[in-house]
């Protein structure tokens, strides 16, 4: 993973072991105080994960009641993510840390 400012300065390269199997969607909050990358995985253990833009603090934020996560989007103002589950046919949301679902 590589990030920088719009003008190319402040370039940072981070890495993390993805171990994703069927990544479908990703979304990002690039602003100060958040700087999270979120993504969905339809693999053997469907989930939604996040990692900081430096490649640190990777964590699973949703792993229960989810089978086909997709349609992921970020609500930057309220610090929430919204997602659809195509196998269960519903839309839900949670806070950036997975609480409030």
Look at residue 95 in the predicted model and tell me its pLDDT. Answer: 97
Number of domains present in the structure of the chain: 1
Look at residue 6 in the predicted model and tell me its pLDDT. Answer: 74
| Whole-model pTM over 0.85 | no
Which residue would you say has higher pLDDT here, 79 or 16? 79
Q: Is residue 84 part of a domain?
A: yes
> Taking a C-beta distance cutoff of 8 angstroms, is the pair 32, 46 a contact?
no
Q: Is residue 43 part of a domain?
A: yes
Residue 18, pLDDT above cutoff 80: no
What's the whole-number mean pLDDT along residues 76-101? 94
| pLDDT tens profile 31-62 | 888 889 999 998 889 999 999 887 789 999 99
Domain ranges, residue 79: 2-95
Q: Is residue 58 part of a domain?
A: yes
Q: Is residue 101 part of a domain?
A: no
Cα 66 to Cα 50: distance, rounded to the nearest angstrom: 16
């Amino acid at each position: 993973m590589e990030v920088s400012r719009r003008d190319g300065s402040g370039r940072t390269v981070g890495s993390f072991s993805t171990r994703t199997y069927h990544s479908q969607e990703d979304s990002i909050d690039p602003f100060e105080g958040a700087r999270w990358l979120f993504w969905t995985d339809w693999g053997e253990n469907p989930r939604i994960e996040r990692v900081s833009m430096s490649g640190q603090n990777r964590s699973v934020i949703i792993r229960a009641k989810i089978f086909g996560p997709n349609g992921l989007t970020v609500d930057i103002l309220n610090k929430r993510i919204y997602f659809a589950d195509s196998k269960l046919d519903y839309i839900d949301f949670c806070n950036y840390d997975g609480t409030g679902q």
